[in-house]
Amino acid sequence: MSELPIIRTENVHKHFGDNHVLKGISLDFPTGTTTVILGGSGSGKSVLMKHLIGLLSPDEGRVLIEGDDLAGLQGEALTKVRGKFGMVFQWAALFDSMSVLENVAFPLREHRKDLSEEQIRALVAEKLALFGLEGIEEKYPADLSGGMRKRVGLARAIIMDPKIVLYDEPTTGLDPITTDYVDEMIKRAKEKLGVTSVVISHDVASTFNIADYIAFLYDGAIVAYGPPAEVKASEHPFVQQFLGTWFRKN
């Protein structure tokens, strides 16, 4: 298939002072697939993710979104490209003082001033239902379990029907059952809405559950890439150690 990948990074380098964090990252994220960026703490995962949405720009190399170089975009064109993304932050980051309805509706109220109150409520209800959260619009984050909060965060991330959803460690700090549940929701967003997902993780079980492709980041470079079975067979010593420890225990 020669279809243009929805995201492509070409030889992306990033330094912070003397710290060379990304050392030439070239990756394609095929449309409609889930790619997990797996790696240890401090390997550069969050820095890489921030480049995908233009929150950071490369010192060298390019990031292309559907063929458009992010570095060349400004103003309305940049806003338009950013509109292709939804993002789920590590700690769900709901607004505590706002109801579930207001949390999920937040992007709509910012960007879709053309919608009526009734239309907004209908869209929120539809996205909540997709994640098995019917009728919780009037609740507040404090009333919800950690897993429910995550799912509300997911509903908010997809409320604008983005083509791409970025998840920064969506299951860190969750128990194994809730992790499974959140993984199912990530798969559901892909299957029902056709979104391209990029997931940052250091959770091996979750990674092998959801990934179409795994990109293993080590010391600022991709040292293994491919479908899960291929990455599992990688002979890179750090990848072997990282995965081996987990597979031996499970």
Among 6, 8, 34, 45, binds ligand ATP (CB under 6 A): 45
Region binding ligand ATP by CB under 6 A among candidate stretches 13-21, 60-68, 116-124, 233-241: 13-21
Q: Which is nearer to ligand ATP, 49 or 128 (CB)?
A: 49
Binding of ligand ATP by 44 (CB under 6 A): yes
CB contact at 8 A, 153 and 89: yes
Nearest to 225 by CA among 70, 48, 85, 89: 48
Structure tokens at 166: 């970025």
Region binding Mg ion by CB under 5 A among candidate stretches 8-16, 39-47, 111-119, 171-179: 39-47
Q: Which is nearer to ligand ATP, 48 or 165 (CB)?
A: 48
Tell me how far the alpha carbon of residue 243 is from its chain's centroid.
Answer: 21
Among 6, 9, 27, 39, binds ligand ATP (CB under 6 A): 39
CB under 5 to 8 A by kind: which of ligand ATP, Mg ion, none does 43 bind?
ligand ATP
> How many other CB atoms are found less than 10 A from the CB of residue 231?
23
Strands 19-29 and 68-69: unpaired
Ramachandran angles phi, psi of 70, nearest 5°: -55, -35
For the chain, the first-to-last Cα distance in angstroms comes to 36
CB under 5 to 8 A by kind: which of Mg ion, ligand ATP, none does 14 bind?
none
CB contact at 8 A, 208 and 228: yes
Among 46, 57, 178, 240, binds Mg ion (CB under 5 A): 46
Residues within the interface to ligand ATP (CB under 6 A): 16, 19, 21, 39, 41-47, 202
